Amino acid sequence: MDALSAVTVRDRAVYLDGVLVVADLHVGRGSASNVELPVGDGTEMVERLADLCRAIDPETVVFAGDLLHSFRTVPRQVEATVEGLCEAAEEVGADALVTPGNHDTMLDAVWSGKTASEYRIAEETVVCHGHVEPSAEAERYIIGHDHPTITIEGTRKPCILAGDDVYRGADLLMLPSFNRLVSGVEINEMSATDFMSPLVRDVDALAPVVHDTTAEETLTFPTLGEFRHRL
């Protein structure tokens, strides 16, 4: 199948079969310069998620791991932000679910909703964080974990990476961080061994997908193997 088959791409998110998927919110982590900052980064994320939910009207919202940053104790503002994210889903009647990531060590302290290490959409797609290999077989995996960005003509943009038949014969979509304060990793010159996710095995087979929020259009580029020399 095509990795983007029946998928609607939005700003740092994808939607398919009634499910809105976002990843790597890292609630409580400000990273304007890869430094942990005060935890005032939540309101903007809640508003963006609420806007997406109103526009799309999903049945389910899946947070594909690293909903939280790593904490020894959870700051109060983090609890308020997580509550706001849940309310954004509830406002449109959507269920909310987390597929925990490696940073979600304190998730139980702020999340009383549904969790699953892997979440299946319809028959063919599995959502997971992507820090470990999934146990479920699928035709397509949607993951986060690496926070991909791409620099084009001097401008750095969050991107989705889409590949057909690139992981155990299955398609792959890697989402960027939903948190605009997470700088992300520039994939322009990265090799497969530079990625943290074990699901990335051939980076040259992955195509960057950028959602232009100004024009509200999605740009799908050639695979990195074909396109890298132009960057």
Q: Check: pTM over 0.85? Answer yes or no.
A: yes
8 A C-beta contact, residue 98 and residue 107: yes
Tens digit of pLDDT at every position of the chain (231 positions): 699 999 999 999 999 999 999 999 999 875 333 444 444 558 999 999 999 999 999 999 999 999 998 777 778 889 999 999 999 999 999 999 999 999 999 999 999 999 999 999 999 999 999 999 999 999 999 999 999 999 999 999 999 999 999 999 999 999 999 999 898 999 999 999 999 999 999 999 999 999 999 888 999 999 999 988 887
Instruction: For residues 114 and 33, give the distance between their C-alpha atoms in angstroms, rounded to a whole number.
Output: 33
Q: What is the pLDDT of residue 73?
A: 74
Q: What is the pLDDT of residue 63?
A: 99
**Architecture of the CATH domain 8-230:** 4-Layer Sandwich (3.60)
Amino acid at 9: V
Domain ranges of the chain: 8-230
The count of residues in the chain is: 231
Instruction: For residues 118 and 10, give the distance between their C-alpha atoms in angstroms, rounded to a whole number.
Output: 22
